Amino acid sequence: MKIMSINAGSSSLKFSLFDMDTKELIASGYFERVTLPGSFYNIKYQGEKIHEDVDMPNHTVAVEVLLDRLIKHHIVNSLEEIGAIGHRLVHGADKYNHSVIITDEVVEDLKKYSSLAPLHNPANILGIEAVKNALPEVPMVGVFDTAFHQTMKPSAYMYPVPFYWYTDYQVRKYGFHGTSHCYISKQISKILGTDHYKAIICHLGSGGSLSAVKDGKCVDTSMGFTPLAGIMMGTRSGDVDPSIITYMAEKEGKTADEIVNDLNKKSGFLGLTEKYSDFRDVYAGVKAGDEKCKLAFDKYVQTVVNYIAMYYVELEGADVICFTAGLGENATPVRKAIAEKLSCLGVKIDEEKNQICGETTEISSSESKIKLYVIPTNEELMIAEDTYTLMNEKA
């Protein structure tokens, strides 16, 4: 069965097409600037990149272009080869703790939860509606970013705020990057050869989050009510004193929303260095002796270490610390610095193995009391696997 994973943004559409009999990636691509002037797409197929500038005034047209090009470039012979489509859905509140077949009820819930993810849920709905218009007979599955974290206990997900904020307005920790954390937890289980383990998963990219996982279930995670909470990121501050918002609003003559926007888009690496949001640029600055880049590097490492230490205590130990996502899979200096700060827990890194990037590798030394792994994430495959599983259950 061929299954397509789709991730719709407000002005983008990302897809991956898999042969689920072999779990082989057939093709993938990005459709950019949808609804905007200068829209285009890039498709990777058989080692080549196909680029085309094409007018895509809305997501319906983007999906139509995608399906047309799948045929035109002989990626599939017929659209009937696509057995199902899995959609990345950002927010399912606390109703959805697993992937589901998309129904009218699911779409209505996405609309209802849009206030919890105003930048993402409406875009996800556009993707669903565009696919439904183009392929009305093809079943669709929703895979929620928040689902994996729904195994947290109330003591982990509740905030110490007026209780009615939760009952009336759904204010609680939800966590994000759940599809990645779920995928990595399954890989750890395969590597260790057991379902019984304690792991701390570090999804480190331009956005980043950590999760504490016991026996494949999330115990706690660093992102919260929104993806702004937790560790420092490319442009996000992570955890800060909330009083800063009203203080800076008064000082700068801004609204609270404008300050939150600054915390989301002008903070993190970008805020501390005042010029770089990409870690590669930050580290180049570190090597060049830029003091602000060094501060950003040190602060980033410290925020990650703080969460690892907290989760080590929460799990009452750890068998594995895993690094994944773009920065986690490739930023060897960060992994080394984190491991060195965790030496009091008996963590020891193998510096030679740590130079390996982009593949599943144990990077801890034989003396390390906790295993360190780099495991590349694959959220698109996770979406396809969940979709495939639901299709088989339905059959």
Catalytic residues: 145
**d(C-alpha 149, C-alpha 348), whole Å:** 29
Structure tokens at 59: 């997501």
Going 62 to 64 to 66 to 68, the CA torsion angle's sign is: negative
Handedness of CA 307, 308, 309, 314 (dihedral sign): positive
Separation of alpha carbons 196 and 178, rounded Å? 20
Q: How far from 5 is each of 39, 81, 106, 263, CA to CA, in Å?
A: 21, 14, 18, 31
DSSP state of 349: B
The owner of tokens 């009937």 is 80
Say what the alpha-carbon torsion angle 25, 213, 94, 155 is, to the nearest 10 degrees. -170
CB 191 within 8 Å of CB 360: yes
> Are 333 and 320 in contact, with CB atoms under 8 Å apart?
no
Strands (E), 33-131: 40-45, 48-53, 82-89, 100-101
Token look-up 């990121």 returns: 233
Q: Are 51 and 44 in contact (CB under 8 A)?
A: no
What tokens does 371 get?
């295993």
Where do we find the tokens 């984190």? 338
